[in-house]
Amino acid sequence: MKQEDLVSVILPCYNERGNILPLITAVHDQLNFVPHEIIIVDDNSPDDTITFIRQKHLPFVKPILRTADRSLAKSIRRGIEEAKGNILIVMDSDFNHQPFYLPMMINNLDFYDCVSASRFIDGGKMDEKWRYFCSWVFNIWIRMMTKNKITDSLYGYFSIKRHILEGLDYDKIFWGYGDYCIRLMYHLQQMKANILEFPAENGKRLAGTGNKHLLKAFFQYFDATMKLVLTDFKNK
């Protein structure tokens, strides 16, 4: 990477008061070799995460509050639109996405357009066995239906060159929740972006609880995939 490259890390969050400051510290420590900013996009958390962060007055942190139309994907889009960096990184705010991968994810952009974490290539891991199995099977189904090659279209931990991302239509991708990642990886492959997947071990929360609505998420992911398939069929 070039010396003058600015890295923008986008952290969408909702009720992550117990995780966000340790995560910011860990990300900042990992990125001490490069100019960077950390953009916190809070979806109007009841635990007042945004006020907690604003009170810290960290010069490298940009806190943003969204007060309407709660959506993980729209929070990510807002962070992308506010980012100043020519390298963009999206990661969760609960330590599921481990910060120690960040230097590798940045350095490999010298050779790739996008670097994306996968739990399903050799070395990847997730402690929750049943959830791991279900995600693995569903990702195989996504590959079969979309005829693409990404092994993990659900994880949402990636670095990408800004000009590559700006070549996509955000309106077709950034809405809903985790289903945005299926659309993002699909459209990146459609534009022939050069994507590197690396094995990632899922991390653990310090505080709070994760998404327990797995059945609802399944239907969202199924619907997102089928809409891509139908759109592709209509365009042929």
pLDDT, position 201:
96
pLDDT, position 236:
59
112-124 pLDDT, tens digit per residue, is: 999 999 999 999 9
Q: What mean pLDDT value characterizes the chain?
A: 92
d(CA 97, CA 231): 31
d(CA 64, CA 41): 5
Task: Compute CA distances 6 → 37, 87, 220, whole Å.
Answer: 8, 6, 34
Q: What is the pLDDT along the chain (236 residues), one digit of tens a residue?
A: 555 689 999 999 999 999 999 999 999 999 999 999 999 999 999 999 999 999 999 999 999 999 999 999 999 999 999 999 999 999 999 999 999 999 999 999 999 999 999 999 999 999 889 889 999 999 999 999 999 999 999 999 999 999 999 999 999 999 999 999 999 999 999 999 999 999 999 998 887 666 666 677 888 999 999 999 887 666 65
pLDDT, position 153:
96
Task: Compute CA distances 192 → 50, 107, 114, 144, 189, whole Å.
Answer: 38, 21, 11, 18, 5
**Span 7-235: which CATH code?**
3.90.550.10
pLDDT, position 127:
87
Structure tokens at 233: 């069929």
Sign of the four-CA dihedral 224, 227, 233, 236:
negative
pLDDT, position 4:
62
